[in-house]
Amino acid sequence: MTMLVRLDLQLFAEKTEKATPRKKQDARKKGQVAKSTDLSNAVVLLGSFSFLAIYGEYAGGRLLQMFKVSLSNSLLYHLTEESVVLLFKNILFNAVLIAAPIIVIAWLAAIVSTISQVGFLVAPESIKMDLKKIDPISGAKRIFSMRSIVELLKSILKVLLITTVAGIFLWKQKGILLKLPQMEPLSIVGLLASLTVKMGMVISAAYLVLAVGDLFYQRYDHAKKLKMSKQDIKDEHKKTEGDPLVKQKIKEKQRQVASFRMMQDIPKAQVIITNPTHFAVAIAYEAGKMSVPTVVAKGADFLALKIREVAKEHRVVIMENKPLARALYAGVEVGEEIPEELFKAVAEVLAYVYRVKGTLSK
């Protein structure tokens, strides 16, 4: 009986995996971050109205004084081309002094809210010319996308929230508002200004609650956009770490080069210590030039056989010492000096080698 197995290749292309740190970093460089504009607006409004609650009385006094001067002393000016310019500069200067603290507070609130969401970010790539942004087809898709529907619902919710909060606030102040016809004009202006600031703070606080919810949605939506397929992660890993096949070939090449260098250094060795067949370690030592004996070559199995063959060709002494051969092979890399715990054993071997060579030379 033949079994047919259907394999849906789309499963490998589905973006089901969380974005890797590198994908998040690349998106951040392009300016693609989870940021709620509503949260920034809410913080700016709340900060501005809160500051006005403290600064408003002083600003109102300055503003009233400016109007008094404009409607009294300024009317007595002898109007010339120079005096009109001077008068205008004086009024503009006073207006800037009154508005500047409010503007600075709003500016600081905007910076704090942005940094608290995305940190310090400079993304030049986000201002580069991108023709896709003016593509009418892509624009139409964005208009009728799920995100557009969500943004529409958010706008409706904001209007309902602001209207409801403002209505409730004004309803609670109905007793004060009904007394306005009995008050002096200056008192009416002061009272309306105070109520406006208080209502602004209440609306901003309610807006802030809605904006926090929007921040969580923006982070969810951003994470969803950055999701990757298993194939995407695999491709990124190849770019980061390199193709495994290429890395394997590089390692093989490095081993070949290292093996060739070892074979060239074997004639410089004083002795080859063997297991006798599994391991071979070549040790070099020149009195006066080297303070400690050094391993110049080592190998196991086939490479150990090659080391012994080269040693025989160059008449290097080969000596069997199973424990020492295993210890040197496992604990000392090529080019490293003999460790202190093996000094005595290696010294005995070298002493034996020198005695053998001395006997042969005689």
DSSP calls for 110-170: HHHHHHHHH-S---GGGGS--GGGG-HHHHHHHHTSHHHHHHHHHHHHHHHHHHHHHHHHH
pLDDT value of residue 7: 44
188/179 Cα distance (integer angstroms): 9
* Region for residue 77 given its phi and psi (left: phi exceeds 0; alpha: psi -120 to 50; beta: otherwise): beta
Q: Nearest to residue 194, comparing CAs of 227, 226, 219, 169?
A: 169
330/108 Cα distance (integer angstroms): 63
HSE-up of residue 307 (Cα within 13 Å, Cβ side): 33
pLDDT value of residue 301: 83
Q: Could you tell me the pTM of the whole model?
A: 0.57
CATH number of the domain at 247-357, out of 3.40.1690.10, 3.50.50.60, 3.40.630.30, 3.30.70.980?
3.40.1690.10
Q: Would you say how long the chain is, in residues?
A: 362
Strand, helix or coil at 78? coil
Residues of the chain short of pLDDT 70, as ranges, are 1-13, 71, 73-79, 123-144, 238, 240-247, 250, 254-258, 358-362
Domain with CATH 3.40.1690.10 in the chain: 247-357
pLDDT value of residue 200: 92
pLDDT value of residue 140: 59
206/215 Cα distance (integer angstroms): 15
